[in-house]
Amino acid sequence: MDDDIPYLLLTPGPLTTTRSVRAAMLQDYCTWDDEYNQRVSEIRNRLVRLAAPVASAQDPCPYTSVLMQGSGTFVVEATIGSVLPARGKLLVLSNGAYGRRIAQIAARLGINHRVLEVAEICPPDLSQIERTFQTDRKISHVAMVHCETTTGMLNPVAAVGRLVKQYGKMFLLDAMSSFGGIPLSCEEIGASFLISSANKCIQGTPGFGFVIADRQPLTASEGSARSLSLDLFDQWREMEEHGGKWRYTSPTHVVRAFLQALIELEEEGGVDARYQRYTSNQTRLVEHMEALGFKTLLPRSLQSPIITSFLFPTDAGFAFGPFYEALKRRRFVIYPGKASRADTFRIGTIGNVFPSDIDHLATAVSEAIEELNLSLR
Ligand SMILES: *Cc1c(COP(=O)(O)O)cnc(C)c1O
């Protein structure tokens, strides 16, 4: 952990960034300036190369990218609200709060949709999805979350993607908390729209999100957006036709920091190397926490390297608030739980965080247990 930061964020984002990423924000940029817009174009190209490594070598590349102001949810809303045609029907696969949020967006926008929900500790049921495709012919699009940050579950997107393709539907993927940290290819999973944001595994700062999109359905969505500012097609056309220019004010400092973060991702060895680091962090975390007497919500087979939910210990004296404060005094910030049917807290293992930090966290947790007089066995 750098000495100049007050604490290390062990959260699902915004997360701890490098000093060089933060330093990239110490300049003001003009949104009309060519140099700035060239950087936006470079970001867009780098994102396509990350998400579609094979197809990005083709000319023209079948995939493109759009950046959009706002947090991740704004970009999910922009995508759902822009690419669903008036007569389309969205199937939402949900096993957590972020899946439910997609359904909430569809409901608010008046988009015809249907939700297949399973328990938060269960992966989606492929045969149920297939039956739904066979019985509900109106379904045109399918949306799901890759890493369900609610629990830390990694959903089987490749298997779902194959099914979606087999039935000829369009696949929208919320890869918010996984893109950049888990190897993922739009081509392999058949995702026509992959959504993520600046402040998660790419390790940028918060302020915008982005979509890697199949050009053909994106182009076909012209005129169907239900919002002006969240019109994905219009934003894309502006960026395409004006060399990286955004419609409306862009978060210039955050954009500049994001380019630095992409360069640092490449320097680290790309997504594979980052995945290795996050996996080492997460494995180490669970080893330490289990040794201290904590239990995870999910079995190992469903667990992502991004964030882990731990069950509250059975000691009736345990409360999240004092535990959080005791860790924060030791310079670690953890996250409250979000699971509906179990008392949990969460610890993220993404960001500029290393296995040695996790070792120090384990010391802090054991000190906190002692300070709070908790008995974990
Ligand atoms: C972080 C996250 C989002 C977006 O959340 P915002 O708070 O709007 O940035 C969406 N989906 C998932 C799975 C996430 O982890």
37 within a domain of the structure (yes/no): yes
Per-residue pLDDT of the chain in tens (377 residues, 90 and over written 9): 888 899 999 999 999 999 999 999 999 999 999 999 999 999 999 999 999 988 888 988 999 999 999 999 999 999 999 999 999 999 999 999 999 999 999 999 999 999 999 999 999 999 999 999 999 999 999 999 999 999 999 999 999 999 999 999 999 999 999 999 999 999 999 999 999 999 999 999 999 999 999 999 999 999 999 999 999 999 999 999 999 999 999 999 999 999 999 999 999 999 999 999 999 999 999 999 999 999 999 999 999 999 999 999 998 899 999 999 999 999 999 999 999 999 999 999 999 999 999 999 999 999 999 999 999 87
- Residue 8 confidence (pLDDT): 98
183 within a domain of the structure (yes/no): yes
125 within a domain of the structure (yes/no): yes
Ligand 1 pocket, residue 280 CB under 6 Å: no
User: Residue 336: which CATH number?
Assistant: 3.90.1150.10
CA-to-CA separations, 362 to 179, 211, 247, 287, 290, in angstroms, rounded: 27, 37, 46, 10, 10
Quote the radius of gyration of the chain (alpha carbons, Å): 21
323 within a domain of the structure (yes/no): yes
- Residue 1 confidence (pLDDT): 86
CA of 322 to the centre of ligand 1 (A): 26
| Separation of first and last alpha carbons in the chain | 31
114 within a domain of the structure (yes/no): yes
- Residue 94 confidence (pLDDT): 98
Task: Give the closest residue to 307 by CA, choosing from 259, 272, 343, 339.
Answer: 339
- Residue 185 and residue 323 in one domain: no
- Residue 56 confidence (pLDDT): 87
- Indicate the pTM of the whole model: 0.97
User: Residue 177: which CATH number?
Assistant: 3.40.640.10
- Residue 289 and residue 256 in one domain: no
- Residue 199 confidence (pLDDT): 98
CA of 296 to the centre of ligand 1 (A): 22
- What is the domain extent for residue 157? 20-267
Q: What span, in angstroms and rounded, lies between the C-alpha atoms of 349 and 278? A: 6
Task: Give the closest residue to 305 by CA, choosing from 329, 271, 328.
Answer: 271
- Residue 304 and residue 215 in one domain: no
Can you read off the two tokens belonging to residue 343?
A: 């008392």
In DSSP terms, which residues pair with 182 in a beta bridge? 179
1 within a domain of the structure (yes/no): no
Nearest ligand 1 atom, CA 96? 13
- Residue 125 confidence (pLDDT): 96
262 within a domain of the structure (yes/no): yes
Nearest CA to ligand 1 atom 3: 72
86 near 61, Cβ under 8 Å? no
376 within a domain of the structure (yes/no): no
Among 267, 302, 337, the domain-final residue is 267
Ligand 1 pocket, residue 71 CB under 6 Å: yes
- Residue 313 confidence (pLDDT): 94
Number of domains in the chain: 2
